[in-house]
Amino acid sequence: MTCIERGGEVEVVGVSDFDLFKTFECGQCFRWDVDDSGAYVGVAMGRVARLRREGDRVFISGSLEDFKDIWRGYFDLDRDYAKIRAGLCIDAFMQRATDFGAGIRILRQDGWEALCSFIISQCNNIPRIKKIIAALCRGFGERLEFGGRAYFTFPTAYRLAVLDESDLAPLHCGYRAPYIIGAARAVAGGALDLAYLSRLEPVKACEELKKLQGVGDKVADCAVLYGLHMLGAFPLDVWMKRAVNEHYSPGFDPAVFGPYAGIAQQYIFYYTRNAKKTLHS
């Protein structure tokens, strides 16, 4: 991988397994959108970035220092996903799923943002999740300027901890409002230490997260995988349960995928949700 700064962008050459569409549209994040040119613009880690791809080159807005300090780690660019995919092909189904999902990378998202986002995500569809999160950021995040437009950071747990449920009414997040505020108060007050959880085993980290009101298995697993970057976590939603039941016997243990069960999960999820759409389009 070679990185060159020019014209307000960093040109990254030689990155394999980095499909912008698949990475941003696979359900793991909610703050990246396509602009009129086909590039993706989003807010992460308190910064705005614009990404575009030309052949084997990815262009990321900002300086080389920004790339090294933020985006190289955020996009997990030092991990060999091609090698991981090969190791996950334990059967014909996983061969199809990994081939179809090649290019997905698991983002290293902020732990608090991931936890709050997946609390919002429960019993919700992606367009509505994105709308609620955008309103949350607009109402309580910090304003950023980029390309002549205003963007907003994800509000900190400390900012949301001082609110009450009525303050979140304009978001129309319904029964999730007390869960959001409860989680914010736990993080801001120190009852929930996400940095500490990141040093535990995924199962233990999930157990701690599930002590929060409104956080069940799926939300906890997503927060652990996408926010704490514990790649052994294996979230199970309706789509995943359907795929596992269809392709594996009862009592299936995701430990068969080793330390990269979370990456296997993402390939299965993306394939299950999108393969038939692609075949019939």
Is 60 part of a structural domain of the chain? yes
139 and 195 belong to one structural domain: yes
Name which of 206, 73, 39, 256 is nearest 268 in CA terms: 256
Q: From 227, 242, 259, give the residue that closes a domain.
A: 227
CATH of the domain at 36: 3.30.310.260
Q: Is the pTM of this model over 0.75?
A: yes
Mean pLDDT of the region 260-264: 97
Q: From 193, 227, 261, give the residue that closes a domain.
A: 227
With beta carbons less than 8 A apart as the criterion, state whether 65 and 162 touch.
no
Mind listing the pLDDT tens digit for each residue in 197-255?
A: 999 999 999 999 999 999 999 999 999 999 999 999 999 988 899 999 999 988 899 99
Q: From 227, 248, 270, give the residue that closes a domain.
A: 227
133 and 223 belong to one structural domain: yes
pLDDT of residue 239: 87
Quick check: 277 pLDDT over 90? no
Please give the residue range of the domain that contains residue 179: 111-227
Task: Give the position of tokens 């793991």.
Answer: 28
Confidence tier at 25 by pLDDT (50, 70, 90):
very high
Mind listing the pLDDT tens digit for each residue in 148-191?
A: 999 999 999 999 999 999 999 999 999 999 999 999 999 999 99
Residue 189 has phi, psi (to 5 degrees) of: -85, -10
Mean pLDDT of the region 68-93: 96
